[in-house]
Structure 1
Amino acid sequence: MPFALAILVGTQLVAEVLRRVLHLPLPGPVIGMFLLALALIGPARRWLAPTADKPSALEQTATTLISNMGLLFVPAGVGIVAELGVLQREWFPIVAGLIVSTVLGLIVTGVVMHRIMRRSEMRELSAAGRHEEAN
């Protein structure tokens, strides 16, 4: 478990350094997850991947962290209670921002999904057409 935790924290550290050095607009943890995903499909897979008889230490550590994720929300809850006055004064812009950002996120997701599905259907149709021409 210490090795797996070192990998998780290390990828986040490397990502945070990259973010600051390269002035990337993404948060360090997002870049770290991307780097970890690349490591899991790349050459480091043999050290990080599970074996046939048991899960890897990385998988066990990640599962433990996820199962205790509720504890990570305690500081956010404390922050909300601490800033309750601001929330009471500024409730309308906060609610409006939440609603607008949710609706925009759904619209963008729908448009992207529609375009991806349309491209996929066009490829299938063109592949089917080429297959029929060959016969």
Structure 2
Amino acid sequence: MKIFNQIGILLGVWAGGEVVSQLIKNIINIPGSILGMIILFLLLQFKILSEDKIKDVADFLLGNMGIFFIPAGVSLIQSLGLIKENAVLLLSCIILINITVMIGSGKSVDFMIKLKEKKQAKSEEEIA
């Protein structure tokens, strides 16, 4: 019964995201599944929903995430001709995006490290 409750919670949050998506579709078009994830994040972050309430089902879904990529893989195989025609463009985009992500991640980590060092220095000054 515990598993059904956890599935029900996740499906309820997803359905809530779909409802919100339909309500705001004239303002901004965000998929309901994305809004559901944001709602779930907020519920967990503000301790409205305990992690224990969804842990078993979430662990199962995360452990078997590869299954959810099968339809995308099949679709890629069906589009192999299109991919071959645009291989140079696709590879260029992939390389450029990866470089951009690496640089952005590095800069973000540097910023957070400096922020943490400033916070530690400030707390050491207050202690002294």
The TM-score, its normalising length taken from structure 1, stands at: 0.74
1:32 maps to a residue whose letter is: G
Give the CA RMSD over aligned residues. 2.4
Task: Give the drift of 1:131.
Answer: 1.9
Task: Give the drift of 1:116.
Answer: 1.5
Change in Cα spacing, 1:5 to 1:103, as seen in structure 2 (3 Å) is same
* One of 5, 13, 17 as aligned partner of 2:18: 13
Task: Give the drift of 1:121.
Answer: 0.6
Task: Give the drift of 1:126.
Answer: 2.1
Aligned residues: 123
Identity %: 21
SS at the partner of 1:22? coil
**2: CA distance between counterparts of 1:83 and 1:89?**
10
2:19 aligned with 1:23: no
Gaps of 5+ in 1: 51-55
Task: Give the drift of 1:64.
Answer: 2.5
Question: Deviations along 1:41-81, whole A, 9 cap, x unmatched?
Answer: 44632xx542xxxxx3x222222222332221111111111
* Higher relative contact order, structure no. (Cα contacts within 8 Å, ≥ 6 residues apart): 2
Change in Cα spacing, 1:28 to 1:13, as seen in structure 2 (3 Å) is closer
Change in Cα spacing, 1:44 to 1:121, as seen in structure 2 (3 Å) is closer
The higher radius of gyration belongs to 1
Runs of 4 or more, structure 1, over 4 Å off, are none
